[in-house]
Protein backbone atom coordinates (compact mmCIF):
# COMPACT_ATOMS: atom_id res chain seq x y z
CA UNK A 1 0.00 0.00 0.00
CA UNK A 2 1.35 3.37 -0.77
CA UNK A 3 -1.33 5.96 -0.24
CA UNK A 4 -0.19 8.91 1.83
CA UNK A 5 -2.38 7.99 4.75
CA UNK A 6 -1.64 4.32 4.78
CA UNK A 7 2.04 3.81 4.21
CA UNK A 8 3.29 0.37 5.00
CA UNK A 9 6.60 0.05 3.17
CA UNK A 10 9.93 1.69 3.85
CA UNK A 11 10.14 2.53 0.17
CA UNK A 12 7.04 4.76 0.55
CA UNK A 13 8.83 7.09 2.97
CA UNK A 14 11.01 8.95 0.50
CA UNK A 15 14.26 7.68 1.95
CA UNK A 16 17.54 7.41 0.07
CA UNK A 17 18.56 4.00 -1.35
CA UNK A 18 21.53 3.99 1.08
CA UNK A 19 19.21 4.49 4.02
CA UNK A 20 16.87 1.77 2.78
CA UNK A 21 19.88 -0.50 2.64
CA UNK A 22 20.82 0.28 6.25
CA UNK A 23 17.24 -0.28 7.37
CA UNK A 24 17.23 -3.66 5.69
CA UNK A 25 20.54 -4.54 7.35
CA UNK A 26 19.05 -3.53 10.72
CA UNK A 27 16.33 -6.10 10.09
CA UNK A 28 13.45 -3.60 10.25
CA UNK A 29 11.05 -5.22 7.84
CA UNK A 30 8.34 -2.55 7.88
CA UNK A 31 8.03 0.84 9.55
CA UNK A 32 6.17 0.88 12.85
CA UNK A 33 3.16 3.24 13.08
CA UNK A 34 5.17 5.99 14.77
CA UNK A 35 7.81 5.71 12.06
CA UNK A 36 5.21 5.83 9.28
CA UNK A 37 3.73 9.02 10.68
CA UNK A 38 6.72 10.88 12.07
CA UNK A 39 9.36 10.27 9.38
CA UNK A 40 7.65 12.21 6.56
CA UNK A 41 6.92 15.14 8.89
CA UNK A 42 10.49 15.30 10.16
CA UNK A 43 11.93 15.10 6.66
CA UNK A 44 9.62 17.93 5.63
CA UNK A 45 11.22 20.04 8.38
CA UNK A 46 8.22 20.40 10.72
CA UNK A 47 8.37 20.58 14.47
CA UNK A 48 6.75 17.35 15.62
CA UNK A 49 5.23 16.40 18.95
CA UNK A 50 4.89 12.65 19.23
CA UNK A 51 3.04 10.66 21.81
CA UNK A 52 4.18 7.07 21.70
CA UNK A 53 5.10 4.39 24.14
CA UNK A 54 8.57 3.00 24.64
CA UNK A 55 9.13 0.02 22.41
CA UNK A 56 7.18 1.57 19.55
CA UNK A 57 10.30 2.22 17.47
CA UNK A 58 10.34 5.93 18.33
CA UNK A 59 14.15 6.21 18.39
CA UNK A 60 14.48 5.22 14.74
CA UNK A 61 11.54 7.50 13.96
CA UNK A 62 13.72 10.52 14.76
CA UNK A 63 17.15 9.11 13.94
CA UNK A 64 16.40 7.98 10.37
CA UNK A 65 14.77 11.22 9.11
CA UNK A 66 17.18 13.58 10.88
CA UNK A 67 20.15 11.75 9.38
CA UNK A 68 18.46 11.91 5.98
CA UNK A 69 17.72 15.58 6.40
CA UNK A 70 21.11 16.76 7.60
CA UNK A 71 23.66 14.34 6.13
CA UNK A 72 26.35 15.98 4.07
CA UNK A 73 26.38 19.19 6.12
CA UNK A 74 29.27 20.27 8.31
CA UNK A 75 29.05 21.22 11.96
CA UNK A 76 27.15 19.98 14.97
CA UNK A 77 23.55 20.15 13.90
CA UNK A 78 21.61 17.50 15.81
CA UNK A 79 21.22 17.48 19.58
CA UNK A 80 19.20 14.75 21.27
CA UNK A 81 18.41 15.03 24.98
CA UNK A 82 17.74 11.80 26.84
CA UNK A 83 16.55 11.29 30.42
CA UNK A 84 19.05 8.60 31.42
CA UNK A 85 22.53 7.43 30.57
CA UNK A 86 21.25 4.14 29.25
CA UNK A 87 18.73 5.75 26.93
CA UNK A 88 21.38 8.20 25.73
CA UNK A 89 23.70 5.31 24.95
CA UNK A 90 21.00 3.42 23.10
CA UNK A 91 20.10 6.52 21.11
CA UNK A 92 23.78 7.08 20.35
CA UNK A 93 24.01 3.52 19.09
CA UNK A 94 21.03 4.02 16.76
CA UNK A 95 22.62 7.23 15.41
CA UNK A 96 25.80 5.20 14.84
CA UNK A 97 23.88 2.53 12.94
CA UNK A 98 22.14 4.95 10.61
CA UNK A 99 24.52 7.93 10.66
CA UNK A 100 28.06 6.54 10.65
CA UNK A 101 27.73 5.01 7.16
CA UNK A 102 27.04 8.56 5.89
CA UNK A 103 30.14 9.84 7.70
CA UNK A 104 28.21 11.35 10.60
CA UNK A 105 29.94 11.27 13.95
CA UNK A 106 28.02 10.99 17.20
CA UNK A 107 29.22 11.91 20.68
CA UNK A 108 27.34 10.75 23.75
CA UNK A 109 27.69 12.86 26.93
CA UNK A 110 26.41 11.29 30.10
CA UNK A 111 26.89 11.57 33.82
CA UNK A 112 29.41 9.11 35.18
CA UNK A 113 31.61 9.24 32.06
CA UNK A 114 34.93 11.07 31.87
CA UNK A 115 34.53 14.85 31.45
CA UNK A 116 37.98 15.33 29.80
CA UNK A 117 37.31 12.57 27.28
CA UNK A 118 33.90 14.00 26.45
CA UNK A 119 35.44 17.47 26.17
CA UNK A 120 37.93 16.14 23.65
CA UNK A 121 35.20 14.40 21.68
CA UNK A 122 33.07 17.56 21.67
CA UNK A 123 36.04 19.59 20.44
CA UNK A 124 36.21 17.38 17.36
CA UNK A 125 32.91 18.91 16.12
CA UNK A 126 30.75 15.84 15.92
CA UNK A 127 27.63 16.10 13.77
CA UNK A 128 25.40 14.72 16.47
CA UNK A 129 25.40 15.09 20.25
CA UNK A 130 23.30 12.84 22.44
CA UNK A 131 23.31 13.92 26.06
CA UNK A 132 21.57 13.83 29.38
CA UNK A 133 20.57 17.41 30.30
CA UNK A 134 22.63 17.61 33.49
CA UNK A 135 25.87 16.59 31.81
CA UNK A 136 25.33 18.86 28.84
CA UNK A 137 24.79 21.88 31.10
CA UNK A 138 28.00 20.93 32.87
CA UNK A 139 29.85 21.08 29.54
CA UNK A 140 28.15 24.35 28.61
CA UNK A 141 29.21 25.93 31.89
CA UNK A 142 32.79 24.74 31.40
CA UNK A 143 32.80 26.21 27.90
CA UNK A 144 33.39 22.77 26.37
CA UNK A 145 30.58 23.02 23.86
CA UNK A 146 28.70 25.63 21.82
CA UNK A 147 25.28 24.96 20.47
CA UNK A 148 25.07 27.76 17.88
CA UNK A 149 24.98 25.35 14.96
CA UNK A 150 22.26 23.08 16.23
CA UNK A 151 19.48 22.88 13.67
CA UNK A 152 17.50 20.07 15.19
CA UNK A 153 16.75 19.66 18.89
CA UNK A 154 15.23 16.37 20.00
CA UNK A 155 13.59 15.85 23.38
CA UNK A 156 13.37 12.12 23.93
CA UNK A 157 11.05 10.92 26.70
CA UNK A 158 10.25 14.52 27.60
CA UNK A 159 7.83 13.53 30.35
CA UNK A 160 10.51 11.51 32.00
CA UNK A 161 13.08 14.29 31.80
CA UNK A 162 10.63 16.65 33.49
CA UNK A 163 9.75 14.05 36.13
CA UNK A 164 13.44 13.78 36.89
CA UNK A 165 13.66 17.51 37.55
CA UNK A 166 15.53 18.53 34.39
CA UNK A 167 13.22 21.47 33.57
CA UNK A 168 15.77 24.20 34.34
CA UNK A 169 18.59 22.41 32.48
CA UNK A 170 16.32 21.94 29.47
CA UNK A 171 15.51 25.64 29.56
CA UNK A 172 19.21 26.58 29.74
CA UNK A 173 20.03 24.32 26.81
CA UNK A 174 17.10 25.49 24.66
CA UNK A 175 18.12 29.13 25.20
CA UNK A 176 21.56 28.44 23.70
CA UNK A 177 20.15 27.00 20.50
CA UNK A 178 19.13 29.20 17.59
CA UNK A 179 15.37 29.82 17.41
CA UNK A 180 15.42 28.91 13.74
CA UNK A 181 15.57 25.22 14.31
CA UNK A 182 13.53 22.08 14.14
CA UNK A 183 12.26 20.71 17.47
CA UNK A 184 11.05 17.17 17.94
CA UNK A 185 9.50 16.02 21.16
CA UNK A 186 8.70 12.45 22.14
CA UNK A 187 6.74 11.58 25.23
CA UNK A 188 4.81 8.56 26.45
CA UNK A 189 2.20 10.85 27.98
CA UNK A 190 1.02 14.40 27.34
CA UNK A 191 0.94 15.45 30.97
CA UNK A 192 0.27 19.21 31.45
CA UNK A 193 3.95 19.88 32.13
CA UNK A 194 4.88 18.29 28.80
CA UNK A 195 2.37 20.47 26.98
CA UNK A 196 3.77 23.52 28.74
CA UNK A 197 7.31 22.67 27.67
CA UNK A 198 6.13 22.01 24.12
CA UNK A 199 4.51 25.46 24.02
CA UNK A 200 7.77 27.02 25.22
CA UNK A 201 10.19 25.32 22.88
CA UNK A 202 8.26 24.34 19.75
CA UNK A 203 6.75 26.28 16.91
CA UNK A 204 3.42 25.19 15.52
CA UNK A 205 4.20 21.52 16.00
CA UNK A 206 2.48 18.77 14.05
CA UNK A 207 1.08 16.30 16.49
CA UNK A 208 1.43 12.56 16.08
CA UNK A 209 -0.53 10.34 18.41
CA UNK A 210 -0.31 6.64 17.97
CA UNK A 211 -3.63 4.96 18.57
CA UNK A 212 -4.01 1.53 20.01
CA UNK A 213 -5.65 0.24 16.85
CA UNK A 214 -2.48 1.04 14.97
CA UNK A 215 -0.64 -1.60 16.90
CA UNK A 216 1.86 0.61 18.65
CA UNK A 217 0.34 0.33 22.10
CA UNK A 218 1.73 -2.71 23.77
CA UNK A 219 -0.63 -5.57 24.50
CA UNK A 220 -0.28 -5.85 28.22
CA UNK A 221 -2.33 -8.03 30.46
CA UNK A 222 -2.50 -5.95 33.65
CA UNK A 223 -3.32 -7.22 37.10
CA UNK A 224 -3.61 -5.60 40.48
CA UNK A 225 -3.31 -7.48 43.76
CA UNK A 226 -4.07 -5.87 47.08
CA UNK A 227 -2.01 -7.36 49.86
CA UNK A 228 -0.26 -6.42 53.07
CA UNK A 229 3.43 -5.61 52.89
CA UNK A 230 4.38 -8.80 54.71
CA UNK A 231 2.77 -10.96 52.02
CA UNK A 232 4.72 -9.45 49.16
CA UNK A 233 7.92 -11.54 49.35
CA UNK A 234 6.16 -14.91 49.19
CA UNK A 235 3.72 -13.69 46.55
CA UNK A 236 6.66 -12.51 44.47
CA UNK A 237 8.57 -15.76 44.78
CA UNK A 238 5.52 -17.69 43.72
CA UNK A 239 4.87 -15.41 40.79
CA UNK A 240 8.45 -15.63 39.56
CA UNK A 241 8.59 -19.39 39.90
CA UNK A 242 5.44 -19.76 37.86
CA UNK A 243 6.58 -17.36 35.18
CA UNK A 244 8.60 -19.12 32.50
CA UNK A 245 9.80 -15.89 30.92
CA UNK A 246 11.92 -12.99 32.09
CA UNK A 247 10.73 -10.65 34.83
CA UNK A 248 11.59 -7.05 35.69
CA UNK A 249 10.65 -6.04 39.21
CA UNK A 250 10.33 -2.35 40.04
CA UNK A 251 10.92 -1.20 43.58
CA UNK A 252 10.72 2.31 44.99
CA UNK A 253 14.27 2.77 46.33
CA UNK A 254 17.78 1.37 46.21
CA UNK A 255 17.36 -0.21 49.63
CA UNK A 256 14.18 -1.79 48.48
CA UNK A 257 15.83 -3.13 45.33
CA UNK A 258 18.43 -4.84 47.44
CA UNK A 259 15.79 -6.21 49.81
CA UNK A 260 13.76 -7.69 46.95
CA UNK A 261 16.86 -9.14 45.30
CA UNK A 262 17.87 -10.71 48.62
CA UNK A 263 14.49 -12.37 49.09
CA UNK A 264 14.78 -13.90 45.61
CA UNK A 265 18.35 -15.01 46.19
CA UNK A 266 17.23 -16.66 49.42
CA UNK A 267 14.89 -18.76 47.33
CA UNK A 268 17.65 -19.51 44.82
CA UNK A 269 16.04 -17.52 42.05
CA UNK A 270 18.53 -16.18 39.52
CA UNK A 271 18.20 -12.45 39.92
CA UNK A 272 20.36 -9.42 39.31
CA UNK A 273 19.71 -5.77 40.06
CA UNK A 274 20.50 -2.20 39.06
CA UNK A 275 20.22 1.10 40.80
CA UNK A 276 22.02 4.42 40.60
CA UNK A 277 24.75 3.58 43.14
CA UNK A 278 26.01 0.73 41.02
CA UNK A 279 28.83 1.81 38.71
CA UNK A 280 27.81 2.25 35.09
CA UNK A 281 29.96 -0.67 33.91
CA UNK A 282 28.36 -3.06 36.39
CA UNK A 283 24.91 -1.86 35.45
CA UNK A 284 25.62 -2.51 31.81
CA UNK A 285 26.96 -5.95 32.70
CA UNK A 286 23.84 -6.71 34.76
CA UNK A 287 21.56 -5.69 31.89
CA UNK A 288 23.64 -7.73 29.45
CA UNK A 289 23.38 -10.77 31.73
CA UNK A 290 19.64 -10.28 31.97
CA UNK A 291 19.32 -9.91 28.21
CA UNK A 292 21.38 -13.02 27.59
CA UNK A 293 19.16 -15.06 29.87
CA UNK A 294 21.79 -15.64 32.54
CA UNK A 295 19.37 -14.12 35.03
CA UNK A 296 15.65 -14.58 34.81
CA UNK A 297 14.93 -11.58 36.99
CA UNK A 298 16.12 -7.99 37.06
CA UNK A 299 15.22 -5.80 40.02
CA UNK A 300 15.37 -2.07 39.32
CA UNK A 301 14.45 1.39 40.49
CA UNK A 302 12.36 3.55 38.15
CA UNK A 303 15.18 5.66 36.83
CA UNK A 304 17.38 2.70 36.04
CA UNK A 305 14.63 0.52 34.68
CA UNK A 306 13.75 3.13 32.13
CA UNK A 307 16.83 2.52 30.07
CA UNK A 308 16.40 -1.20 29.71
CA UNK A 309 15.91 -2.05 26.09
CA UNK A 310 15.03 -5.73 26.14
CA UNK A 311 12.39 -6.96 23.77
CA UNK A 312 11.54 -10.23 25.45
CA UNK A 313 10.51 -9.18 28.94
CA UNK A 314 7.55 -11.40 29.73
CA UNK A 315 6.43 -9.85 32.96
CA UNK A 316 6.79 -6.54 34.80
CA UNK A 317 6.08 -6.56 38.52
CA UNK A 318 5.40 -3.34 40.41
CA UNK A 319 6.53 -4.55 43.79
CA UNK A 320 5.81 -1.05 45.05
CA UNK A 321 3.15 1.17 43.53
CA UNK A 322 5.08 3.89 41.67
CA UNK A 323 5.40 7.29 43.31
CA UNK A 324 4.38 9.08 40.12
CA UNK A 325 1.48 7.78 38.11
CA UNK A 326 3.41 8.32 34.88
CA UNK A 327 6.00 5.85 36.08
CA UNK A 328 3.36 3.15 35.89
CA UNK A 329 3.13 3.62 32.13
CA UNK A 330 6.90 3.66 31.76
CA UNK A 331 7.40 0.62 33.93
CA UNK A 332 4.90 -1.59 32.20
CA UNK A 333 6.15 -0.37 28.82
CA UNK A 334 9.10 -2.73 29.38
CA UNK A 335 6.85 -5.63 28.44
CA UNK A 336 4.49 -6.25 25.53
CA UNK A 337 7.03 -4.99 23.03
CA UNK A 338 7.25 -5.64 19.33
CA UNK A 339 3.81 -7.12 19.00
CA UNK A 340 4.14 -9.57 21.86
CA UNK A 341 1.68 -9.78 24.70
CA UNK A 342 3.13 -8.82 28.05
CA UNK A 343 2.07 -9.18 31.62
CA UNK A 344 2.17 -6.51 34.31
CA UNK A 345 1.37 -7.21 37.95
CA UNK A 346 1.05 -4.57 40.65
CA UNK A 347 1.21 -5.26 44.36
CA UNK A 348 -0.74 -2.61 46.26
CA UNK A 349 -1.18 -2.22 49.99
CA UNK A 350 -4.81 -1.67 51.03
CA UNK A 351 -5.51 1.92 52.12
CA UNK A 352 -1.86 3.05 51.88
CA UNK A 353 -1.66 2.67 48.11
CA UNK A 354 -5.18 3.63 47.21
CA UNK A 355 -4.18 7.18 46.35
CA UNK A 356 -1.40 5.97 44.09
CA UNK A 357 -3.77 3.65 42.26
CA UNK A 358 -6.28 6.49 41.89
CA UNK A 359 -3.53 8.67 40.40
CA UNK A 360 -2.85 6.01 37.79
CA UNK A 361 -6.53 6.03 36.85
CA UNK A 362 -6.61 9.80 36.77
CA UNK A 363 -3.65 10.02 34.45
CA UNK A 364 -5.68 8.27 31.82
CA UNK A 365 -8.95 9.91 32.75
CA UNK A 366 -10.52 6.61 33.69
CA UNK A 367 -13.44 6.25 36.06
CA UNK A 368 -12.59 4.98 39.54
CA UNK A 369 -12.45 1.24 39.99
CA UNK A 370 -14.12 -0.60 42.80
CA UNK A 371 -12.41 0.00 46.12
CA UNK A 372 -10.60 -3.05 47.41
CA UNK A 373 -12.49 -4.73 50.21
CA UNK A 374 -9.98 -4.80 53.07
CA UNK A 375 -11.40 -7.96 54.56
CA UNK A 376 -10.83 -10.01 51.43
CA UNK A 377 -7.56 -8.29 50.68
CA UNK A 378 -6.21 -9.59 53.94
CA UNK A 379 -7.35 -13.13 53.52
CA UNK A 380 -4.73 -14.17 51.03
CA UNK A 381 -7.21 -16.13 48.97
CA UNK A 382 -5.70 -18.00 46.12
CA UNK A 383 -7.45 -18.09 42.86
CA UNK A 384 -6.13 -18.95 39.47
CA UNK A 385 -5.77 -15.86 37.40
CA UNK A 386 -7.45 -15.62 34.09
CA UNK A 387 -10.98 -15.77 35.40
CA UNK A 388 -11.71 -12.22 34.39
CA UNK A 389 -11.86 -10.98 30.84
CA UNK A 390 -8.39 -11.23 29.35
CA UNK A 391 -6.47 -9.38 26.76
CA UNK A 392 -3.89 -11.04 24.71
CA UNK A 393 -5.38 -14.36 23.73
CA UNK A 394 -2.01 -15.55 22.54
CA UNK A 395 -0.99 -15.82 26.16
CA UNK A 396 -3.56 -18.43 27.06
CA UNK A 397 -2.94 -19.81 30.51
CA UNK A 398 -2.11 -23.30 31.51
CA UNK A 399 -2.98 -24.18 35.08
CA UNK A 400 -0.85 -27.31 35.31
CA UNK A 401 1.82 -27.24 37.99
CA UNK A 402 5.21 -26.49 36.58
CA UNK A 403 8.55 -27.95 37.23
CA UNK A 404 10.71 -25.06 38.29
CA UNK A 405 13.71 -27.15 37.35
CA UNK A 406 17.21 -25.83 37.41
CA UNK A 407 16.44 -22.77 39.43
CA UNK A 408 15.89 -24.87 42.54
CA UNK A 409 18.97 -26.91 41.89
CA UNK A 410 21.30 -23.97 41.82
CA UNK A 411 23.96 -23.76 44.50
CA UNK A 412 23.54 -20.98 47.00
CA UNK A 413 26.09 -18.22 47.17
CA UNK A 414 25.58 -15.99 50.14
CA UNK A 415 28.07 -13.29 49.30
CA UNK A 416 26.58 -9.96 48.26
CA UNK A 417 26.30 -9.70 44.52
CA UNK A 418 29.00 -7.07 44.17
CA UNK A 419 31.54 -9.26 45.88
CA UNK A 420 30.92 -12.24 43.68
CA UNK A 421 32.80 -12.95 40.52
CA UNK A 422 30.36 -12.83 37.62
CA UNK A 423 31.02 -16.39 36.56
CA UNK A 424 30.22 -17.60 40.08
CA UNK A 425 26.76 -16.11 40.04
CA UNK A 426 23.93 -18.54 39.54
CA UNK A 427 23.50 -19.24 35.87
CA UNK A 428 20.04 -19.11 34.53
CA UNK A 429 18.80 -21.63 32.05
CA UNK A 430 19.39 -20.78 28.39
CA UNK A 431 17.76 -17.79 26.74
CA UNK A 432 14.21 -17.53 27.93
CA UNK A 433 11.64 -17.55 25.23
CA UNK A 434 7.98 -16.76 25.40
CA UNK A 435 6.00 -19.96 25.15
CA UNK A 436 2.62 -19.96 23.50
CA UNK A 437 1.10 -21.07 26.74
CA UNK A 438 2.34 -19.84 30.08
CA UNK A 439 1.42 -20.96 33.55
CA UNK A 440 -1.08 -19.32 35.81
CA UNK A 441 -0.07 -17.31 38.82
CA UNK A 442 -2.35 -17.69 41.77
CA UNK A 443 -1.97 -14.90 44.26
CA UNK A 444 -3.98 -13.27 46.99
CA UNK A 445 -6.52 -11.08 45.30
CA UNK A 446 -8.93 -8.33 46.12
CA UNK A 447 -12.59 -9.07 46.59
CA UNK A 448 -13.50 -7.92 43.10
CA UNK A 449 -10.53 -8.87 41.05
CA UNK A 450 -12.29 -8.95 37.72
CA UNK A 451 -13.48 -5.39 38.02
CA UNK A 452 -10.07 -4.17 39.07
CA UNK A 453 -8.29 -6.15 36.41
CA UNK A 454 -10.67 -4.89 33.78
CA UNK A 455 -10.14 -1.36 35.02
CA UNK A 456 -6.43 -1.74 34.51
CA UNK A 457 -7.02 -3.15 31.10
CA UNK A 458 -8.92 -0.01 30.22
CA UNK A 459 -5.81 2.05 30.73
CA UNK A 460 -4.55 0.72 27.47
CA UNK A 461 -7.87 0.33 25.76
CA UNK A 462 -8.52 4.01 25.88
As a three-state string, the secondary structure of 287-311 is HHHHHHCCCCEEEECHHHHCCCCCC
Options 37, 50, 59, 231; binder of ligand AMP; rule CB under 6 A: 59
CB of 26 to ligand AMP, least distance (A): 7
CB 302 within 8 Å of CB 332? no
Contact between 46 and ligand AMP (CB under 6 A)? no
Options 32, 82, 84, 189; binder of ligand AMP; rule CB under 6 A: 32
Report d(CA 58, CA 66) in Å as an integer: 13
Q: Which is nearer to ligand AMP, 40 or 57 (CB)?
A: 57
Q: Which is nearer to ligand AMP, 57 or 350 (CB)?
A: 57
Options 33, 40, 57, 369; binder of ligand AMP; rule CB under 6 A: 57
Site string for ligand AMP, 328-367 (x = CB under 6 A): ----------x-----------------------------
Contact between 76 and ligand AMP (CB under 6 A)? no
CB of 337 to ligand AMP, least distance (A): 6
Report d(CA 226, CA 237) in Å as an integer: 16
Candidate ranges 24-32, 102-110, 261-269, 399-407; the one touching ligand AMP (CB under 6 A): 24-32
Per-residue CA distances from 394 to 244, 299, 312, 450, 452 (Å): 15, 26, 15, 19, 22
Q: Which is nearer to ligand AMP, 29 or 281 (CB)?
A: 29
Contact between 151 and ligand AMP (CB under 6 A)? no
The pairs formed by 109-117 with CB atoms below 8 angstroms and a separation of 24 or more are 109/135, 109/136, 109/139, 110/85, 110/135, 111/85, 111/135, 112/85, 112/279, 112/280, 113/85, 113/280, 115/139, 115/142, 115/144
Report d(CA 96, CA 248) in Å as an integer: 28
CB of 95 to ligand AMP, least distance (A): 12
Contact between 449 and ligand AMP (CB under 6 A)? no
Contact between 58 and ligand AMP (CB under 6 A)? yes
Where in 285-324 is the site for ligand AMP (CB under 6 A)?
A: 309, 311
Q: What is the DSSP letter of 155?
A: E
* Helices 17-26, 58-70: inter-axial angle, 10-degree rounding: 150
Q: What is the DSSP letter of 138?
A: H
Options 33, 40, 41, 54; binder of ligand AMP; rule CB under 6 A: 54
Contact between 60 and ligand AMP (CB under 6 A)? yes
Candidate ranges 31-39, 136-144, 161-169, 273-281; the one touching ligand AMP (CB under 6 A): 31-39
Are β-strands 442-444 and 382-384 bridged in parallel, bridged antiparallel, or unpaired?
antiparallel
| Beta strand segments in 307-351, E | 313-318, 341-348
Are β-strands 182-187 and 48-51 bridged in parallel, bridged antiparallel, or unpaired?
parallel
Q: Which is nearer to ligand AMP, 338 or 420 (CB)?
A: 338
Candidate ranges 56-64, 103-111, 248-256, 293-301; the one touching ligand AMP (CB under 6 A): 56-64
Closest to 353 measured CA to CA, from 228, 232, 223: 228
Interface residue list for ligand AMP (CB under 6 A) = 28-29, 31-32, 35, 54-60, 309, 311, 338
Amino acid sequence: MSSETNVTNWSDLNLSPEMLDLIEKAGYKAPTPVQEKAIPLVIAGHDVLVSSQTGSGKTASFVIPTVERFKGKNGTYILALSPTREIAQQTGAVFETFGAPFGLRTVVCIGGASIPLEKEALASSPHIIVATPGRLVDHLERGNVWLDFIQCLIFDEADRMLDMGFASQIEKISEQIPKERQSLMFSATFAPKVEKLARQVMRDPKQVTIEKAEGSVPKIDQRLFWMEEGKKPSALVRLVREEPGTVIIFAKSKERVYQVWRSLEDKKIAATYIHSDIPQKDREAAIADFKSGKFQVLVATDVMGRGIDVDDVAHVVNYDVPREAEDYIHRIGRTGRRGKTGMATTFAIPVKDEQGIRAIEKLRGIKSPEKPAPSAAHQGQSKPRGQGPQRGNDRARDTRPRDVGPRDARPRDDRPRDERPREARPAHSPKVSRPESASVVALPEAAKPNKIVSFFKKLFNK
